[in-house]
Amino acid sequence: MRALVINLDVLFNRGTFRFEPLRECITQEWGRRLLPAMETLELLRRYSPIVSDLAPDAQSYEKLMDEVNGYCLAMATELFEQPVRVSEMRDYLGTDAFLSRLPKAKLWPSAAEIDDATNKRVDGPRTRAVRLMDKLRKEFLKASSG
């Protein structure tokens, strides 16, 4: 559990979660943003059975997984010219084919000009996922020190 929580926390330090709100993504390379989010979701899914048995509060982990999934789905729906089929793209995680199989990305004159509705649908799950990850880390540290 300790290794999982530490590695998840490191994943959340990647630009796509903690340090880059949607409207601050200057490059607008949505595929490069979707990829680490889907990798994180896959890691969460793979460890879910273990966490359910060992975590002090498995509900926090499940909520985190739901928000990361929501973030992936929101990006897949809102940031590309055609919706990305997330379930199909899972087969290409870890391969060079992932980015090449994505539809064309939507582009705004600048990321700061992304409309409020799109920003809310994409950044809402992202910020909730960050809060839940921080909560999971604190819960784990509290449980492991006690």
- Helix, strand, or coil (residue 37): helix
Say if residues 73 and 64 touch (Cβ distance below 8 Å): no
Whether the pLDDT of residue 140 is over 80: the answer is no
User: Does residue 48 register a pLDDT over 80?
Assistant: yes
At 23, which amino acid appears?
Answer: R
Q: What is the pTM of this model?
A: 0.90
Q: What's the CA gap between 50 and 75, in Å, rounded?
A: 28
Q: How far apart are CA 74 and CA 72, in angstroms?
A: 6
Q: Could you tell me the pLDDT band of residue 16, with boundaries at 50, 70 and 90? A: confident
Q: Are 125 and 74 in contact (CB under 8 A)?
A: yes
The span from the CA of 51 to the CA of 45, in Å, is: 10
